[in-house]
Structure 1
């Protein structure tokens, strides 16, 4: 919940606006009060969408459908105007978190809570289906948790029997991971009530285990697994009674006829739900509800129209957690200016979100602030420090220019890589009205907690070193999460390229470590389905190394029996990768040896010794000091001048994140007001030539990074990892 902005109206349709609940590409949702004092959530559509006749027709249909639904576990519509210049819809305000936010913050829910959740949501769907409707987008983000039970919201893509969906004929409607197989348009089956039951089964499995049953990652891959693979429901029967676990699993049947009805699911869930009522949520979830309720009773005051903030500059390195006030920073020398100019940020400026009239240094306009949240005092201290330094070079180089209309600043929050401090750090950044974008965090524990917080406030947040999946299974729903590194699902392509173009391997053996994460196993499946040199009948064999064993000799002998020309270690442990390397040397193997980045650590070098020589690893980050471009040389020189050392891992990537933010905000000029949602929209429509790599995003609606030029190769040479270059340019 954030303060109203100067441009927000005082009232709308007889409702007094109190605060912003969220803002994104479709519009803004406000907390408001009706004439009788009742709080409502008021959804206002953005003007550009309201001007689209098809979108307006869809919104009109949403209003009509939602007004006809009055079940207890559905959120009632209290008022609407689909014909207004800015169409709006008011619903009862539910003072509770979404299921997605609760699971991301607290983890999986207890079995009795899941039973109540299933019973109430199944009842809601029974009423929806009895009205002749299909919701079509049942997912954790559309389920709110209240004291007396859950609420199902958002009927924006609901459809009645015989109605035509207002979208492209080949579009997939809904959210991958919660779509039934028939909704992917692969099977050709009609989308009907069983599709909602499938989605509810996915929701209940997610609430019970904390995992999506069909995984996360690239939407196309998720849809493929939904249609062709069995769901991951491991652990379901360890939490739930067998009958309840069984009916949830039955909801995930591929064919609609194999699923229970919503009424049947409700009956089974109610048998284990007990009395439900206000005691249905665990204590931690109750605290989330209480927090929402308290904030609704005391909304923040409207932002003033012409605030004049204090001068804001970058604090010194190593200051740990910084308070909101900041000292002015000294501009760095000409080499840093050259770094910015070479990397395409010649006119980089940042706008504050609530500073229509403030000013910074004389003749340079107001100061604009970027937040950086990172683990600066825990196990990721070195990586975090490198990212902070890269960001500071980009910002200070901008401030050294004399012709810029804005000064830039960096405010840093140390979250120690832990959930509790991470939430506090995020709330401090969100509470700072000068912050217009956030870089970080860089630990999965922190990301899972803060991603929903930033998404709820439409704050653009940039993952530099983390993968999108590190923010939790629902991170793909965020429209403001910007991932500027190649995703884990892309890591097989550098390996495939190297083995095909450089090693020319026609027979490749994969030693698959059973201890490896699922992303590595996914890469193995991709290499099997599309092997190196597949156009000349290249072949791949897979040999699994059990997790409990540490001696790779037997597995390696089996792998080498097929006389492969290359061996891939598909694992994440540098120690186990070293054991595999030693076994290959002992067996006399002389061919190419390839591994994945998680194993590319100093432990691999020390444990493998001479057996490490020649190994090649893929990685999503560059070694900028080894690159030959003008921008890379300038950035390296600036880093050496300021810090007395070459840039560390992920430093250049953080530098480029600042450059991307600056390039986007430059387009808004000196506009007095700018929302975080507008910044995020601009990011995904942008491209940027960075020091580390070009940054461009897919235009298929996923907002994912175009990863083709974002992966690199390293080789062990004389006991060190030597940078080879971008994978598609290595010869």
Structure 2
């Protein structure tokens, strides 16, 4: 839960807005209170999407569908306005965590809980099927847990019985791992109620064992196992026979052999009639209580952008203002077994009187300074040094910052050793880094086990195989790779609208390509249509796929893949076909190899990226940062340097909130970080309130375009209004 911002309305449709529950590219979800005092979740769609007739028609359909569902285990619609400039939909507020959050964070749930969950979800599906609907995306993330039972949400892709695929015949709609075999191979064919029962079996197996019945990994492999292999028995043998039988029958490959929702409900309630309020285990109830309490005491509205660390100026960091820890007049880089220590303070502490008695808080910078990613590590070190200087140069500070740099060489084993060295230093109150996915994967669990806050700047948590739900002190300030489609979606909806979009799904891109395709299919740019055209990993000829794509006269083409060389082949095929619409791709393609291999065919391509280019940005804070960086280091800011600067600022904001005491513990800093909002040089940093501690991805991505054979920075995706075609 986040505070309302200055631009948020006071009320909407008779609802008083209290806080933000979440936000994305399509709109914002608010916590609101009705005139009679009831709490609701109010979903508002941005005007630019609602302006599209097709999108508005789909929103009307969603409202009509959800309004017609009145069962106990579905979330009721309380009000809506489908004709407003920014249409909205209000539903009863459910303060509980999702089933995914509960199991990922707390482990498998007790068998009795799973039996009750299965019976009540079967009841919900039975009500849905009775009115001729199939949910088609029954998964843990779409199930909320509260004391009186679960709630099934998100009917965005629900369809009538017999309805075919939403877009292209070769598009897969739903979530791999919970899809039925017929959804996986339907290709436009019928998907009936039995499909939801298969998904229910997957959900119950996951809830009872903590394992997906068809494993994890790249989506194509999961889908293949779903269709062709039996479900994994991991943990199922220990379940009560009744529950095991229900799961096994639901997971039958043949839809005709699966039970109906009514049969599952009957099987699970005949021997378990109780639906007592204590069906959830205590840890889950604590999550519900925590969220309920926050709903009753929402954060106050922010009057404007939060104050940040003082923006540096070009004059602010001359060498004579860099002082030693003890107050002498020379800059100190004290190399020791614990790393390189730098303390920067404004004025002579022994004579100014302002800083004489303030405590010092030490930050550890854990980066690759000598390995394959040493250039990025150096840039982050420079950005962090500049931020420390910005803090220590402020008047009337309550504490100084010290920075300790550690090099892990980008090696996993060395990263673990480095983490132990950092943790051996009692003065360290927070860690910035590691800077590489391998380092983060190795070291972050060690920091979390010691309750040490670890702020990831450049390593994505999902790419490193980490979870902010299970690692409670892991603070990720870079948006996850799973959110990479948001800037492209925004660009093709607002900046260069595309109502017909073609995705070239590169089979060599593995799970990343599948995720890109699924996200764009489920949320089409401009609310339009998306067609998907696959290229096998075994071929480098993109011509046939491009030809098929262009038959639908797309206004934009998205390369769904990660290979610079293969993206160049796609670019050449599009140029040969004389395609003149928008062409977009993703950051892994932004390499010199793409420019070289594609040549003139690369011109005009637009890419998303998770990092800024401060020297090309126009915001005052970015200009001040760039000037100070040049003055201090004699060069332009490097990639991720501004983000590292902001990481120090975020930690500083958390320390400010904790007060001036010298007894601040790392665990206190970790807890405070996730309740801290910070408008940085690069982007706004805000976190989703709840058990996930995830970064709010809204407005945290950037766009670049190929111009004259170079990647040119366009800006933060929500601030780019027009681009050169």
- The structure 2 residue matched to 1:593, chosen from 560, 583, 597, is 583
CA contact (8 A) 1:136 1:195 kept: no
Whether 2:481 is the aligned partner of 1:467: answer: no
| Alpha-carbon shift at residue 461 of structure 1 (Å) | 0.8
Whether 2:705 is the aligned partner of 1:715: answer: yes
CA contact (8 A) 1:685 1:697 kept: yes
CA contact (8 A) 1:322 1:412 kept: no
TM normalised by structure 2 equals 0.58
| Alpha-carbon shift at residue 204 of structure 1 (Å) | 8.6
CA contact (8 A) 1:182 1:195 kept: no
Whether 2:717 is the aligned partner of 1:727: answer: yes
Residue 511 of structure 2 corresponds to 518
| Alpha-carbon shift at residue 704 of structure 1 (Å) | 1.6
What is the distance in 2 between the residues matched to 1:160 and 1:568? 41
| CA spacing shift, 1:260–1:621, aligned 2, 3 Å | same
SS at match of 1:416: coil
**CA-to-aligned-CA distance 1:340-393 (integer Å, 9 cap, x gap):** xxxxxxxxxxxxxxxxxxxx9970523211111112111211111111110000
SS at match of 2:469: helix
In the TM superposition, what are the counterparts of 1:137-536 in structure 2 within 5 Å?
185-186=151-152, 198-199=206-207, 201-203=209-211, 211=216, 245-246=232-233, 257-259=245-247, 323-324=337-338, 329=343, 363-401=356-394, 403-472=396-465, 474-534=467-527
Q: Unaligned stretches of 5+ in structure 1? A: 1-134, 144-151, 164-169, 171-175, 216-228, 262-308, 334-359
| Alpha-carbon shift at residue 507 of structure 1 (Å) | 1.5
Residue 280 of structure 1 corresponds to none
Residue 128 of structure 1 corresponds to none
Residue 312 of structure 2 corresponds to none
What is the distance in 1 between the residues matched to 2:701 and 2:440? 22
CA contact (8 A) 2:201 2:247 kept: no
Cα RMSD of the aligned pairs, angstroms, is 4.5
416-425 or 552-561, which deviates more? 552-561
Residue 571 of structure 1 corresponds to 561
What is the distance in 2 between the residues matched to 1:632 and 1:178? 41
What is the distance in 2 between the residues matched to 1:486 and 1:545? 28
CA contact (8 A) 2:705 2:711 kept: yes
Q: Unaligned stretches of 5+ in structure 2? A: 1-98, 118-123, 125-137, 154-195, 250-323, 348-352
CA contact (8 A) 1:423 1:449 kept: yes
| CA spacing shift, 1:426–1:402, aligned 2, 3 Å | same
What is the distance in 1 between the residues matched to 2:479 and 2:630? 27
| Alpha-carbon shift at residue 456 of structure 1 (Å) | 0.9
| Alpha-carbon shift at residue 671 of structure 1 (Å) | 1.3
SS at match of 1:667: helix
Residue 121 of structure 1 corresponds to none
CA contact (8 A) 1:593 1:614 kept: yes
TM normalised by structure 1 equals 0.57
| CA spacing shift, 1:725–1:508, aligned 2, 3 Å | same
| CA spacing shift, 1:331–1:669, aligned 2, 3 Å | closer
Residue 648 of structure 1 corresponds to 638
- The structure 2 residue matched to 1:560, chosen from 526, 546, 550, is 550
What is the distance in 1 between the residues matched to 2:227 and 2:466? 17
What is the distance in 1 between the residues matched to 2:465 and 2:525? 32
SS at match of 2:660: coil
| Alpha-carbon shift at residue 467 of structure 1 (Å) | 1.5
SS at match of 1:722: strand
CA contact (8 A) 1:510 1:569 kept: yes
CA contact (8 A) 2:469 2:691 kept: no
What is the distance in 2 between the residues matched to 1:428 and 1:680? 19
| Alpha-carbon shift at residue 182 of structure 1 (Å) | 9.4
| CA spacing shift, 1:327–1:521, aligned 2, 3 Å | closer
What is the distance in 2 between the residues matched to 1:700 and 1:182? 13
CA contact (8 A) 1:368 1:408 kept: yes
**CA-to-aligned-CA distance 1:556-614 (integer Å, 9 cap, x gap):** 12211222121110111111111111111111111111001111122211111111110
CA contact (8 A) 1:510 1:543 kept: yes
| Alpha-carbon shift at residue 655 of structure 1 (Å) | 0.3
| CA spacing shift, 1:687–1:254, aligned 2, 3 Å | farther
CA contact (8 A) 1:505 1:532 kept: yes
| Alpha-carbon shift at residue 394 of structure 1 (Å) | 0.4
| CA spacing shift, 1:605–1:531, aligned 2, 3 Å | same
What is the distance in 1 between the residues matched to 2:652 and 2:486? 31
- The structure 1 residue matched to 2:662, chosen from 672, 685, 710, is 672
| CA spacing shift, 1:402–1:472, aligned 2, 3 Å | same
| CA spacing shift, 1:521–1:660, aligned 2, 3 Å | same
